[in-house]
Amino acid sequence: MNERKKLLEVKDLQTTFFTDSGEIPAVDHVDFYVREGEVLGIVGESGCGKSVTSLSIMQLVPSPPGKITGGEILFEGQDLLKKTEKEMREIRGNDVAMIFQEPMTSLNPLFTIGNQMSEAISLHQKKWSKKQIKERATEMLKLVGLPRSEEIMKEYPHQLSGGMRQRVMIAMALVCDPKVLIADEPTTALDVTIQAQILKLMRELNERMNTAILLITHDLGVVAETCERVVVMYSGQVIEEAPTKVIFENPCHPYTRGLIQSVPDMRNKKDRLYSIPGNVPKPGSIEQGCRFAARCESAFSRCRVETPELYRNSENHQTRCFLYDEQQGVTSANEQTTTRS
């Protein structure tokens, strides 16, 4: 068993959006943790709450309409939700940094790369001289594998390609040696060959600088290649959590199983893809029972009435499904359904 300390711990987090059409619980009692130097993946389809979870950690949820309505976010034992905005600003960048999906929109088009890098450094290292700052910025650009970093310091974002912009974003996020890097779909907007470059870079940084990474993605391939542990989210809840190997070898939740099977495999051709029937429900639209019940092949009567909890099926594997509820789930499941695999 891994003895590394839990660095970031999200406990019972709830983030709700208050809109004209009612309250939408985008993140609904979510628990997970990131250990020191670990790469944790959060996977899920659009609308499952994975991005809102990451924004909640940074407290960047647009408010109004969004609001963190409950729970704790512990970073090195301290609750980030109890910090003032000023204290939070110190933590963002210094301890926890974030990179976003769109490297085009996260950089200011009116300032040079050097300008923006220096700003990020000077905000956190107030005593550094200009020369020191510039040196550090150039060094970071080199670290993320950008050629001719001196020149790039003087260039504007539009002069760089998508992959280079994402490298600049990573460099900027890492200037203050954060302990956790939150990467929200960092390669989704990039081509596969560029994606491979960026993923390799992130793996190297994780190994070399021991930065813990929280990687948010919808791509199971990216997860399999980069993450040690995976949290699967569906409709605002964590539905399964296990080490990457376990998730792919022995997926327990019917949704996880369906998701893995519906990815077309490049290595061997199937005649027909498995597909999960129906659509992802809108957050908050299901009030009773398991959120996946309507699309689930193994659903039985209990699933439509009661809400399942996360059940532990082995030491490091949890599943939110009654099939794994040892007290009564299995017996009732055997009575009610024959489709269990």
The answer to whether the CB of 296 falls within 8 A of the CB of 302 is no
The answer to whether the CB of 71 falls within 8 A of the CB of 14 is yes
In whole angstroms, the minimum distance from the beta carbon of 269 to other proteins comes to: 6
Q: Which amino acid is located at 51 in the chain? A: S
In whole angstroms, the minimum distance from the beta carbon of 276 to other proteins comes to: 4
Tell me whether residue 68 or residue 190 sits nearer to other proteins (CB atom).
190
Stretch of 95-103, 112-120, 123-131, 265-273 lying at the interface with other proteins (CB under 8 A)? 265-273
The answer to whether the CB of 157 falls within 8 A of the CB of 113 is yes
**Quick check: bond before 283 cis, omega within 30?**
no
In whole angstroms, the minimum distance from the beta carbon of 255 to other proteins comes to: 8
266 part of the interface to other proteins, by CB under 8 A: yes
In whole angstroms, the minimum distance from the beta carbon of 334 to other proteins comes to: 27
Number of chain residues interacting with other proteins (CB under 8 A): 45
Tell me whether residue 251 or residue 308 sits nearer to other proteins (CB atom).
251
46 part of the interface to other proteins, by CB under 8 A: yes
Q: Which of 116, 149, 244, 319 binds other proteins (CB under 8 A)?
A: 244
Tell me whether residue 212 or residue 259 sits nearer to other proteins (CB atom).
259
Q: Give me the sheet containing 78-79, strands edge to edge.
A: 22-35, 6-19, 66-75, 78-79
Q: Rounded CA gap, 250 and 232, in Å?
A: 14
Q: Which of 3, 20, 85, 249 binds other proteins (CB under 8 A)?
A: 249
Q: Rounded CA gap, 233 and 48, in Å?
A: 6
Q: Rounded CA gap, 194 and 289, in Å?
A: 42
What length does the chain have?
341
DSSP SS3 for 311: strand
Chain residues that interact with other proteins, rule: CB under 8 A: 45-46, 161, 163-164, 191-197, 199-200, 218-225, 244-245, 248-249, 258-260, 262-267, 269-270, 272-277, 279-280
